[in-house]
Amino acid sequence: MADGFTDTPRFRLVEAPPLARFVLRAPDAALKVTGKAYGLALPEALNRGASHGERGKPGARVALHLGPDEWWLIVPEAEGPDVAAALEKALAAHPHSLVDVSHRQVGYVLEGEGAAGLLNAGCPLDLSETAFPPGMATRSLFHRVGLMIWRMTPGLFRLEIDRTLAPYFVAALAEAAKDHS
């Protein structure tokens, strides 16, 4: 349970442990070497996420393709420096930017059969499974704040929200939850 949010049988909100996060901007030509160095192939299709391992556990890797040349890479906090060094080495021949944004964002998991409906209280995206299937990841809005939504399974969403806006997000979600429990 996240601070300020009351879980119900229909949905739970869990704050993520500290994670290392990177924003990678790189050309398509760099994808192969990047994936090799990262230990996980970067998704080529836009608005898709890929992962292996369990969040926060050693070796866990997340890659989210959020813009035409933009990927977010999320790894356990302790592995951040090594991952960054490996990526910089692999990308040396390609014009790119790799920025550590570990502390910019807070991660959440929203899960349960009512999760999509609750997100839709503030997010205008079509979150039906045909329009937004598992594996899809994108930035969008929740009321007035931007957030990243990655659907891992039909009832499990991973969310990333800017740290200063997270209290607003949790409060707004908790308010919406009163109508959705």
Partner 1 sequence: MLLIRCPYCGMDRPEIEFRHAGAAHITRPGPPDRVTDEEWAAFLYLRDNPKGRVAERWRHIHGCGRFFNAVRDTVTDVFVVTYKAGEPRPPESLAPEALTPEARP
First vs last C-alpha separation in the chain = 15
Number of residues that bind partner 1 (CB under 8 A): 13
Instruction: Kindly state whether residue 120 participates in binding partner 1, applying the rule CB under 8 A.
Output: no
Query: Looking at 65-73, 78-86, 101-109, 157-165, which segment touches partner 1 (CB under 8 A)?
Result: 65-73
CA atoms of 3 and 53, how far apart (whole Å): 26
- Phi/psi for 112 (5° steps) reads 130, 165
Query: Looking at 1-9, 136-144, 151-159, 161-169, which segment touches partner 1 (CB under 8 A)?
Result: 136-144
CA atoms of 93 and 109, how far apart (whole Å): 36
The distance of closest approach from Cβ of residue 14 to partner 1 in the complex, given in angstroms and rounded to an integer, is 24
Choose which of 4, 17, 133, 146 interacts with partner 1 (CB under 8 A): 146
Instruction: Kindly state whether residue 125 participates in binding partner 1, applying the rule CB under 8 A.
Output: yes
Instruction: Kindly state whether residue 4 participates in binding partner 1, applying the rule CB under 8 A.
Output: no
The distance of closest approach from Cβ of residue 6 to partner 1 in the complex, given in angstroms and rounded to an integer, is 28
DSSP state of 178: H
Instruction: Please state, as a whole number, how many other Cβ atoms lie within 10 Å of the Cβ of residue 151.
Output: 22
CA atoms of 73 and 33, how far apart (whole Å): 15
Instruction: Kindly state whether residue 17 participates in binding partner 1, applying the rule CB under 8 A.
Output: no
